[in-house]
Every structure is written in structure tokens, then in C-alpha cells.
């Protein structure tokens, strides 16, 4: 039977594009600026080639790893992807189902399209305790940060991934040219609207506005709060309506992040959660060193899928520079541009403990819902296993640079 989800990336992309609205495609497939970082992600992978070995008895192979107390079938995770509702309603619940079916960790986005508790419940329904992480965008409001950390702990997160590369949204021409902004229709704010602390913040600010106690609250901020409040049940918020405006989206984006974030905050985070802390968006070896000095448990080498800084280093080139510096002291994950099992193999050979998959699983979701997201990652793992054996290796944990050459 013909598979619903194509087994090669080019066709996967083509079919996903057909299955998505123009607006969804622009947001999900798009990158920063001229797209050169996305190109660099692929170039860094394509320049490295696998040099297979033969006659090594590869009849029994092991793709499994241990990561932060979880036993994983393969060194693969689902990257956090916000605003998934552009593709499917409650996208995160569907992806959670896919991840639980595979036993592969799903990193829930702070800008998810379903409350984390709902995604966790779906995962537990399929496979109790199946691994999930929470990805944090550090809000300007510290109480909100604590609330997210507490919810993540309560819903069974194995780790917190703090995303550092998105203190502001990058320059994204595909969205800008359409005049389309994610979040304008409240996609990706469900972690917020389901949060008791966030509801308090909104209620307080709205009350202050109504009472005219805070004249400094800008019209844009008010519009945003009102548009967020539309999604919050509650008597006094009911009959409010709000225009979808650029300003309100920008104001929301200013609530979700704190551009003044610095290393002291990360050091302080250690006191606020006992979960492993993983810094997402590390590209410079000196930042990797500082991450270790700050006492975090892991990093994700990532340029956010080329969506933030145009003209930046390919993620796997950054990995090649960072892995020797880290030298096994903390976990090193990587994402951005990883499409296939062979790509995962290369990342592992360069020193990554695991790789995360972003857009490809969203393409599967667009084509065939939860099954599609699952099948994309199933295919990547299957090809990883074949690549492992066909190049003369039996365990992903044994891979090192000797498996690769550069062209």
C-alpha cells in the first residue's frame, strides 16, 4: 500500500505545502531574511559524508539511548513548535499522541496550541509516563515563569528547555509579505490562557485599565490583553471584542519574552526548578563553556531552524565546534535542518547525544494528522538504523568522527 507520508524530504515538503493554507506554509516553512541560515544548515550536513565500513557483523543493532532518566528508542526528539493550530486544531495533542506511540520525547512549546496538561494526558492515555519536556520562553513576568515551571513539573516533564534565541521574533519575509502574523488569531497562546497566573495578570491589568489607575498602559497593550482575554472564561471579560492588529500581536510578543535575560537569570533558575535545565539556541563554543559553568544539564545547538538570524552559522557546523569543548560534560542536542536518518547519524558522529526534528513532523501532521507526524519520525528512525548497520556500526552511542569525512 502506498504510504500517506512520503519517505523522502523533498516530496514530504511538496505534499505538506499542498495540505496547508498559504499563511500556515509561510509561517512554518519560512526562515529569516534571505534564507541563508536554512541553506547553511543543509550545507553543513551535506559537506560531511559518511564513510561506510564493511564486514563488521551488524546483525544486532541498538539505536536506544538514556536521556535525563528516560530510556529512548532512538536519539531523536520532537522539537517544540508553536502556533501549530495554523495546521491543525490542538496540533500539540496530535503530536503528543504521535510521540507517545513512538516513546520519543516531545518538547512542548511554550507557544503551543493546547494546554500542556491536555497534551500530557493524551500521552499518558497512549503510554503512561511517556517522555515529555517543556520549552520555556522566559516571560517579563517572573511569577508567570514560576507558574510554567510548576505546571511543567506537575505534568511530568523530564527536562526544561529554555529557548534563548527568540527574545524577539526574527525578520520573517514570508509572513511579512503576506501581511500575516502568527498569534494574530490567537494560535499558540494556549499555555498562557490556561495559566492561572497569566489570567491574574490579565485580570489585574484589565481592571486597572477599567479603573483608569494605570494611564501608562498603551492602547496596543490593552487590545492585546482584551484579545487574550477573549479566550479566558470569566464573567467580566465576556462582552469584550478586539481588532486583530499588528500592535496587539507585538504586545503579546513583548509579554512572552524578556530581552534583558542574561546568564545570572540562568544561574538563578537552578534554585527555581529541580528538573534538568537545557539551554536551546547555543551556537558559540564560549556560550557552551559558560552553559557548563552555569551548571545546566544540557544544551541544544540550534539556530531555530534558520528562523531568527539570517546569515548565521549552520547548526551542524556549530555542533562540530562545540562538541569537543563540551567533551561529554553535559548533554549536547542539536536541531535545525535535520531531515533524515543519515542526517541524525552525522549529528551523532559529530558528538551530539540526540537530534530534534522540527518542520518535518509538522509536515507529516499537515498531511495525515497524528499518524503523519508519527510516520515522519518513524521513517527517520528506520533510516538511522539502516544507516548505522550499512556503515558498519551497531550502536548509536559508539559513533564518533571517524565515521565521517568532509568534502
Size of the site for ligand FNR (CB under 6 A): 23
For residues 302 and 282, is the Cβ–Cβ distance under 8 A? yes
Cα three-residue angle 138-143-145, rounded to 5 degrees:
25
Q: Does 280 engage in binding with ligand FNR (CB under 6 A)?
A: yes
Reply yes or no on whether 361 is catalytic.
Answer: no
CB of 291 closer than 8 Å to CB of 258: no
Measuring CA to CA, how many Å separate 8 from each of 50, 228, 364, 383?
Answer: 18, 39, 12, 11
In this chain, which of 27, 106, 108, 192 binds ligand FNR, going by CB under 6 A? 27
Give the residue with the Cβ less far from ligand FNR, 9 or 199. 9
Q: How far is the CB of 82 from ligand FNR (least distance, A)?
A: 3
Q: Is 115 in the site for ligand FNR (CB under 6 A)?
A: no
Question: CA-CA distance, 376 to 373, in Å (whole number)?
Answer: 5
Q: How far is CA 10 from the centre of its chain?
A: 22
358 binds ligand FNR, rule: CB under 6 A: yes
User: Which amino acids are annotated as binding site for FMN, given as ranges?
Assistant: 80-82, 109, 135, 163, 280, 302, 358-359
Identify the residue among 80, 156, 298, 369 touching ligand FNR (CB under 6 A). 80
Q: Which helix (H) or strand (E) holds 35?
A: none
Contact by Cβ (8 Å): 79, 306:
no
- Cβ-based nearer residue to ligand FNR, 206 or 376: 376
Summary count for the chain: helices (H), strands (E): 16, 12
Nearer Cβ to ligand FNR (222/228): 228
Site string for ligand FNR, 311-350 (x = CB under 6 A): ------------------------xxxx------------
DSSP character for 323? H
Q: Which of 73-81, 196-204, 288-296, 390-398 is the region at the interface with ligand FNR (rule: CB under 6 A)?
A: 73-81
Compute CA distances 371 → 63, 142, 170, whole Å. Answer: 22, 38, 31
Residue choice 20, 28, 44, 322 for contact with ligand FNR (CB under 6 A): 28
Interaction site with ligand FNR (CB under 6 A): 27-28, 79-82, 109-111, 135, 163, 280, 302, 304-305, 307, 335-338, 357-359
Amino acid at each position: 500500500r502506498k504510504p500517506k507520508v512520503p519517505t523522502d524530504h523533498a516530496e514530504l515538503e511538496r505534499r505538506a505545502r499542498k495540505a496547508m493554507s498559504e499563511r500556515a506554509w509561510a509561517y512554518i516553512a519560512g526562515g529569516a531574511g534571505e534564507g541563508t541560515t536554512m541553506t547553511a544548515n543543509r550545507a553543513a550536513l551535506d559537506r560531511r559524508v559518511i564513510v561506510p565500513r564493511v564486514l563488521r557483523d551488524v546483525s544486532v543493532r541498538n539505536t536506544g539511548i538514556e536521556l535525563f532518566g528516560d530510556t529512548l528508542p532512538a536519539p531523536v526528539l520532537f522539537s517544540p513548535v508553536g502556533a501549530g493550530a495554523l495546521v491543525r486544531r490542538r496540533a500539540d495533542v496530535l503530536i503528543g499522541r504521535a510521540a507517545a506511540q513512538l516513546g520519543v520525547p516531545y518538547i512542548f512549546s511554550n507557544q503551543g496550541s493546547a494546554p500542556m496538561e491536555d497534551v500530557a494526558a493524551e500521552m499518558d492515555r497512549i503510554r503512561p509516563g511517556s517522555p515529555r519536556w517543556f520549552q520555556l520562553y522566559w516571560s517579563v513576568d517572573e511569577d508567570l515563569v514560576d507558574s510554567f515551571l510548576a505546571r511543567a513539573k506537575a505534568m511530568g516533564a523530564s527536562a526544561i528547555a529554555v529557548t534563548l534565541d527568540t527574545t524577539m521574533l526574527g525578520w520573517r519575509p514570508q509572513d511579512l509579505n503576506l501581511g500575516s502574523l502568527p498569534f494574530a488569531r490567537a494560535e499558540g497562546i494556549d499555555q498562557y490562557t490556561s495559566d492561572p497566573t497569566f489570567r491574574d495578570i490579565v485580570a489585574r491589568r484589565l481592571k486597572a485599565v477599567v479603573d483608569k489607575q494605570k494611564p501608562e498602559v498603551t492602547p496596543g497593550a490593552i487590545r492585546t490583553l482584551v484579545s487574550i482575554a477573549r479566550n479566558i472564561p470569566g464573567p467580566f471579560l465576556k462582552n469584550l471584542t478586539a481588532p486583530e492588529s499588528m500592535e496587539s500581536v507585538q504586545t503579546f510578543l513583548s509579554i512572552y519574552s524578556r530581552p534583558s535575560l542574561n546568564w545570572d537569570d540562568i544561574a538563578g533558575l537552578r534554585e527555581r526548578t529541580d528538573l534538568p535545565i537545557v539551554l536551546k539556541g547555543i551556537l558559540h563554543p564560549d556560550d557552551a563553556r559558560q552553559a557548563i559553568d552555569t551548571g545546566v544539564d544540557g544544551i541544544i545547538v540550534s539556530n531555530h531552524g534558520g528562523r531568527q538570524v539570517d546569515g548565521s552559522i549552520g547548526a551542524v557546523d556549530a555542533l562540530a565546534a562545540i562538541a569537543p569543548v563540551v567533551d561529554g560534560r553535559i548533554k549536547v542536542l542539536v536541531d535545525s535542518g535535520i531531515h533524515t536518518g543519515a542526517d541524525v547519524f552525522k549529528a551523532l558522529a559529530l558528538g551530539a547525544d540526540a537530534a530534534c526534528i522540527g518542520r518535518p513532523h509538522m509536515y507529516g501532521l499537515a498531511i495525515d494528522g497524528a499518524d503523519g507526524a508519527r510516520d515522519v519520525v518513524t521513517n527517520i528512525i528506520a533510516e538511522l538504523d539502516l544507516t548505522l548497520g550499512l556503515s558498519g556500526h551497531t550502536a548509536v552511542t559508539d559513533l564518533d568522527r571517524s565515521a565521517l569525512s568532509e568534502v
